[in-house]
Amino acid sequence: MSFEDAAGAIVAAGRRMDALGWVPATAGNISVRLGQDDIAITRSGRHKGALTAADVMVVDAAGQARDPGARPSYETLLHCGIYRRFPDTGAVLHGHSLANTVLSRRDRGPIRLAGYELLKAFPGGPTHDTAVAVPVLDNDQDIPRLQSALDRLWDATPDAPPGYIIRGHGVYVWGASMDHAMTRLEALEFMLRCHLEEERRPTP
């Protein structure tokens, strides 16, 4: 993919995520793989609902800016970790919704989603009759250390769904293309919101 096409896809994704309330203030980050060694990613501190192509930059596979004067997202290494671990990934989305923030702040393990029609958006077959455990990792401002925790998680669960939540922080989802990643993000966020609403209501 050319940089121009990647930037256009990132700008459109930012506007979509902003319209859905998933990237308040300057939260979130978005990236697209340009090739084996290059990633287009949002610059640090930009509001995702007001992105332009100038708010997108290029980093290498290690997260280093191709333009030494440019400052990529603080969490660029988490994007690099996804591309490295899952070589078929073409885009990564990171958002901060109310549902993923509230659910992940609770003192418990993975968030289990079962029986939802939209589970079809994830690997496992064209059926709702399945379950997905969305991993929740403790927040950590040391991004290399957080990436190491993710690597250990993925080593232990190689078939984990293409998404995880950082506790009280936000969700990461990826896919083969931007459209694919956005479909998975929308499906996951819908199920998380349903899960939150169900927990708020008393058991009949």
Q: Is 79 annotated as a binding residue?
A: no
Query: What is the Cα–Cα distance from 22 to 134, expressed in whole angstroms?
Result: 18
Quote the CA–CA distance of 44 and 59 in Å, as a whole number: 13
Give the span between the Cα atoms of 185 and 162, in whole angstroms.
10
Strand (E) or helix (H) holding 114: strand 111-114
Handedness of CA 121, 134, 195, 193 (dihedral sign): negative
Instruction: Tell me the two tokens of residue 148.
Output: 């190491």
Q: Hunting for tokens 């509001």 — which residue is that? A: 47
CA angle, 99 then 76 then 177, to 5°: 70
Q: Does 195 count as an annotated binding residue? A: no
Binding residues: 94, 96
Q: Which segments are annotated as binding site for Zn(2+)?
A: 94, 96
